[in-house]
Copies of this chain bind each other. A is one copy, B any other.
């Protein structure tokens, strides 16, 4: 009778505030979503403060919280997690950065902070990996391409700090900034020097790279400078499998979420056609999750499109994406032996185009839950559910309890 698997479906940024474009409803309340409503009806529902009431979560801190890793203890900046997301294996103490390929003119002016939204930079990253030399500073590095114009840089070496500024001027038409230590500390000063040297050498390599010459010939902006930000020191993450005694996988188009999974030792499952956007292959994600559950105890699926619509302020698009997602979730209605948890990581109200601290709806479905009388899955109905209001930290332990993997405290 007892389920022995856990599936977390994180509908990124799906919850919202009342939307004038939808007659005062939220996109979730306005959407036709028979699958989510049926799961809510058959399960127990509630609202959830992913981190704490009144705290606006990032996607990174929220996912750490949902996976039971207190972000106030474990979060050390986005850089190291983005590095993991690109496939760089980060060890504790390494310094990680999020990077963009950008375009710089002969005069040294940033003319396009996204290098014409270039999307195949693997050859450039390979050239930097082979060409840049930081050994004079006793520093090793790894540089990998991410999605589109994105990339990540990791540094390893003695005496490197992580409190340094960015070289990104945040707008076009100006010179890039020098990376600077944020405090007058030798370790941060060393990292700043190393970063500036990386930028100097990499710009030289990129400027004359054949791929960039080809782009210029075709009237495209070349990717000839690296902008870096989000510096952080990789922390020590107790592996998920040791912490909970179960195996797990992560399915996400967003490299930040994949990176969090990697940092915890979750297996990353590639799925064709996933984009983190409206056109993503959600059906493929769900199919992959169901396959993965045959050999894994736990799978987390992140579905990003609703968050994107929220950031763009498009309530109708968000509602439509929710309806598309709902259709893709249909196979979950017949998933045996599994505790299904569906929630958001944070709200992304279309009215503010950013994350908010509004609690998110959550449902838990599967053997053993105390089924409440909530008849649908939205911010309002879930607030009346049997879970009442919980924190993200409580979610995975609750699911582990339902698959009998919780440990008794006391006798």
Residues of A within 8 A of B (CB): 1-2, 17-18, 20, 26, 47, 49, 51-62, 71, 75, 78, 230, 256, 349, 351-352, 354-358, 368-372, 379-380, 383-391, 393-398, 400-401, 404, 406-411
Q: How far is the CB of A315 from chain B (nearest CB, A)?
A: 12
Q: How far is the CB of A392 from chain B (nearest CB, A)?
A: 10
Known A-B contacts A354-B408, A386-B383, A388-B388; the reply to A397 vs B55 at CB < 8 A is yes
Q: Contact check, B61 vs A410: say whether CB atoms are below 8 A apart.
A: yes
| Alpha-carbon gap, A355 to B398, bound state (A) | 13
Known A-B contacts A71-B410, A386-B380, A388-B383; the reply to A53 vs B370 at CB < 8 A is no
Note all chain B residues with C-beta closer than 8 A to A49.
394
Note all chain B residues with C-beta closer than 8 A to A386.
47, 380, 383
Q: How far is the CB of A360 from chain B (nearest CB, A)?
A: 11
| Alpha-carbon gap, A383 to B356, bound state (A) | 24
Q: Contact check, A409 vs B61: say whether CB atoms are below 8 A apart.
A: yes
Note all chain B residues with C-beta closer than 8 A to A406.
54-56, 356-357
Known A-B contacts A59-B411, A390-B389; the reply to A54 vs B396 at CB < 8 A is yes
Known A-B contacts A54-B400, A389-B389; the reply to A411 vs B230 at CB < 8 A is yes
30 residue pairs bridging A and B, Cβ less than 8 Å apart: A1-B20, A1-B351, A2-B351, A2-B352, A17-B368, A18-B368, A18-B371, A26-B370, A49-B394, A53-B390, A53-B398, A54-B393, A54-B396, A56-B406, A56-B407, A57-B410, A59-B410, A60-B410, A71-B410, A75-B409, A352-B368, A354-B404, A355-B408, A357-B398, A358-B370, A358-B401, A370-B379, A372-B380, A383-B387, A389-B390
Q: Contact check, A398 vs B56: say whether CB atoms are below 8 A apart.
A: no
Q: How far is the CB of A307 from chain B (nearest CB, A)?
A: 12
Known A-B contacts A389-B389, A410-B58; the reply to A53 vs B380 at CB < 8 A is no
| Alpha-carbon gap, A52 to B333, bound state (A) | 31
Closest residue of chain B to A52, judged by CB? B394
Q: Contact check, B358 vs A408: say whether CB atoms are below 8 A apart.
A: no
Q: Contact check, A62 vs B410: say whether CB atoms are below 8 A apart.
A: yes
Note all chain B residues with C-beta closer than 8 A to A410.
57-62, 71, 75, 78
| Alpha-carbon gap, A47 to B370, bound state (A) | 12
| Alpha-carbon gap, A368 to B24, bound state (A) | 10
Q: How far is the CB of A26 from chain B (nearest CB, A)?
A: 7
Partner of A411, one of B256, B358, B383: B256
Note all chain B residues with C-beta closer than 8 A to A407.
56
Q: Contact check, B368 vs A409: say whether CB atoms are below 8 A apart.
A: no
Known A-B contacts A356-B406, A401-B56; the reply to A411 vs B380 at CB < 8 A is no
Note all chain B residues with C-beta closer than 8 A to A56.
401, 406-409
In the complex, besides A56-B407, A351-B368, 6 extra interface pairs with C-beta distance below 8 angstroms are: A17-B370, A26-B370, A53-B397, A54-B395, A388-B388, A388-B389
| Alpha-carbon gap, A328 to B411, bound state (A) | 27
Known A-B contacts A57-B409, A398-B357; the reply to A383 vs B391 at CB < 8 A is no
Most buried by B among A358, A389, A396, A410: A410
Note all chain B residues with C-beta closer than 8 A to A53.
390-391, 393-394, 397-398
Q: How far is the CB of A64 from chain B (nearest CB, A)?
A: 8
